């Protein structure tokens, strides 16, 4: 079980099962929400359970992208990621309280990274989405 929460503690969640990946996402949504990129934990949507504060989660859905919602705590503004989106969850690793027991393995959406930022590690890089097979 992996537990997570927002900064003020009103939103809490648990992740059961094994995550598919811990990725560095460079998409425009993650850049705007977190800076240069966001570390995101990705897994099966059914493994994510909001245990407190469901009503405290605000959602922003860009008009240009109907597939994703950016979730955050209404009170403290903590970025929560896209949470459950279709068959997978995408949770901001910064909201995790526990060690997910996996380490970052890939950079995703690298074509969206800013020109002034160079990826200098040896992790695998993908132009778009990548979800490791379960």
Model confidence at 130, pLDDT cuts 50, 70, 90, reads low
130 in any annotated domain: no
131 in any annotated domain: no
The pLDDT of 63-74, averaged and rounded, is 78
> How many domains, the chain?
1
Mean pLDDT of the chain, nearest integer: 88
133 in any annotated domain: no
The pLDDT of 15-19, averaged and rounded, is 94
Pairwise CA distance, residues 45 & 49, whole Å = 9
DSSP H helices, the chain, are 28-34
The pLDDT of 66-94, averaged and rounded, is 86
The pLDDT of 56-84, averaged and rounded, is 84
Spatial contact of 110 and 128, defined as CB atoms under 8 Å apart: no
Instruction: Give me the CATH number covering residue 102.
Output: 2.170.150.70
Q: Which two tokens stand for residue 24?
A: 């560095």
Residue 94 pLDDT exceeds 80: yes
134 in any annotated domain: no
Q: Specify the 3-state DSSP secondary structure of 112.
A: helix
Q: What is the pTM assigned to this prediction?
A: 0.86
Range of the domain at 60: 2-125
């Amino acid at each position: 079980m992996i537990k997570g929460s927002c900064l003020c503690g009103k939103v809490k969640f648990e992740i059961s099962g094994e995550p598919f990946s811990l990725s560095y996402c460079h998409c425009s949504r993650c850049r705007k929400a977190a800076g240069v990129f966001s570390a995101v934990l990705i897994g099966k949507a059914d493994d994510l359970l909001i245990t407190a504060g469901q009503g405290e989660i605000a959602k922003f859905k860009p008009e240009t992208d109907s597939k994703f919602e950016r979730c955050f705590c209404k009170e403290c503004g903590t970025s929560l990621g896209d949470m459950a989106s279709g068959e997978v969850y995408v949770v901001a690793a910064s909201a995790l309280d526990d060690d997910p027991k996996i380490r970052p393995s890939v950079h995703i959406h690298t074509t969206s990274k800013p020109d002034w930022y160079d990826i200098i590690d040896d992790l695998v890089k993908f132009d778009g989405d990548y979800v490791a097979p379960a």
